[in-house]
């Protein structure tokens, strides 16, 4: 997996889109990385994404590559970004790369003795530690020091001792430019731990109960 430094060397400028939290973060990053411009919106993803592009005065088709956060986090926000990337790709395809929200935070904090988590619903939590893999674990399995990005939503009761940490992508990226965080993606979509399974339903004609 390439690092940000490698992506900038190969594809700059980069258009980065992150809608995993309640804020939409859009960045336009030049070859040096230091000339990045950012726009942050509190609007819902379908509005905030395009407001941010307009605020920056950039076109997605002027980027050398697209980089987006595929989660975990807001599934609606992430899928809105993924849908936009697929639409733009029909008009003018670009190399596209994805990264995990929790992996970015963990790399920025630089500590393998803590876990970065987010709510996965149904009393389960997304869990990532440096040197490990992104997992979905039950709340009873959470151990040690726990942190969560501050603008991530929760539906379950937060684990005891959980600490909220800043989730500014603009602040974190320069500190993790050498980490191999980015994966090439052909069909952008929200991250899922496993593909959904569906129960087969056989339709039946309803009949009145027979007289006895």
Q: Model confidence over 27-81: pLDDT tens digits?
A: 999 987 668 999 999 999 999 999 999 999 999 999 999 999 999 999 999 999 9
Count other C-beta atoms under 10 Å from residue 184's C-beta: 11
In a shared domain, residues 155 and 178: no
Distances from the Cα of 24 to the Cα of 9, 20, 55, 170, 200, angstroms:
26, 8, 13, 12, 38
For the segment 88-111, what is each residue's pLDDT rounded down to a tens digit? 999 999 999 999 999 999 999 999
pLDDT of residue 20: 97
Residue 78 lies in a domain: yes
Distance CA 53, CA 17 (A): 10
pLDDT of residue 122: 86
Residue 95 lies in a domain: yes
In a shared domain, residues 26 and 16: yes
| Bridge partner list, 27 | 16, 38
Number of domains in the chain: 2
Residue carrying structure tokens 């939590």: 125
Residue 73's domain comprises: 4-100+167-184
In a shared domain, residues 79 and 152: no
């Amino acid at each position: 997996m390439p690092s940000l430094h490698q992506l900038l060397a190969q594809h700059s400028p980069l258009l980065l889109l992150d809608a995993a939290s309640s804020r939409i973060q859009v960045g336009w990053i030049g070859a040096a990385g230091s000339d990045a411009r950012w726009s942050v919106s509190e609007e819902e993803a379908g509005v905030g994404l395009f407001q941010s592009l307009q605020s920056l005065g950039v076109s997605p088709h002027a980027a050398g590559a697209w980089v987006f956060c595929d989660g975990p986090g807001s599934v609606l926000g992430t899928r809105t970004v993924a849908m936009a990337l697929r639409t733009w790709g029909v008009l003018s395809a670009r190399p596209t790369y994805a990264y995990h929200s929790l992996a970015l935070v963990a790399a920025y904090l630089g500590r393998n003795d803590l876990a970065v988590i987010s709510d996965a619903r149904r009393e389960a939590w997304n869990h990532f530690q440096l040197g490990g893999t992104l997992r979905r674990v039950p709340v009873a399995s959470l151990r040690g020091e726990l942190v969560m990005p501050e603008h991530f939503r929760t539906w379950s009761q937060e684990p005891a001792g959980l600490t909220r940490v800043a989730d500014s992508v603009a602040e974190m990226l320069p500190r993790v430019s050498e980490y191999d965080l980015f994966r090439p993606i052909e069909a952008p979509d929200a991250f899922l731990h496993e593909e959904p399974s569906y129960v087969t339903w056989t339709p039946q004609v309803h009949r009145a109960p027979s007289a006895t």
